[in-house]
Structure 1
Amino acid sequence: MWCCVVFRSTGFNPRRSDMPTFHIELFEGRTLDQKRQFVEAITKATCESLGVEPNSVDIILTDVKRENWATGGKLWSEA
């Protein structure tokens, strides 16, 4: 299953935590438990690698239907 990740950060300010925001698009069909495990893993890796607190990590998941995603001029629903 395919996903796309866009990472944005506000830039580091020593007076407050850096606030990374992840916008993640993925094909629909994952369970709530799979999404929960996924965001926990991203949050953990982000905290370890960027030195931020968990409450400063924002993750936005967007489910996309295969008919609304194309690669190489072909819809994934027709692949």
Structure 2
Amino acid sequence: MPYINVKITDEGVTCEQKQAIIKGCSQLMIDVLDKNPQTTFVVIEEVSTDNWGIGFEQVTKLRQTKAT
């Protein structure tokens, strides 16, 4: 019974994109581990860019710097 936790920043991911993530992760478990998709759980957590850091900096600030 795989449990897959996907964490992404909360930057406007659509319902269709989330469905594609769920489908892709489930298919990977089928292809690689021969797992049953009916017992494969995929959880997507959206994290504020203020709460996500890369290389000493918040993603929010990195995005602002990149935009300018």
Give TM-score scaled by structure 2 length: 0.83
Q: Which residue of 2 aligns with 1:26?
A: 8
Unaligned runs of 5+ in 1: 1-18
Q: Which runs of 5+ in 2 are unaligned?
A: 63-68
Count the aligned residue pairs: 61
Indicate the SS of the match to 1:47. Answer: helix
Which protein, 1 or 2, shows the higher relative CO under an 8 Å CA cutoff with sep ≥ 6?
2
- Say what the alpha-carbon RMSD is for the aligned residues: 0.8
CA shift, 1:75, in A, is 0.4
Query: 25, 38, 42: which one pairs with 2:21?
Result: 38
Q: Identity over aligned residues, as a percent?
A: 20
- 1:67 is the counterpart of 2:50: yes
Provide the secondary structure at the position in 2 that maps to 1:55.
Answer: helix
Instruction: Say which structure is richer in helix.
Output: 2
Task: Give runs of ≥4 in structure 1 deviating > 2 Å.
Answer: none
Provide the C-alpha distance between the structure 1 equivalents of 2:7 and 2:35, rounded to a whole number of angstroms: 23
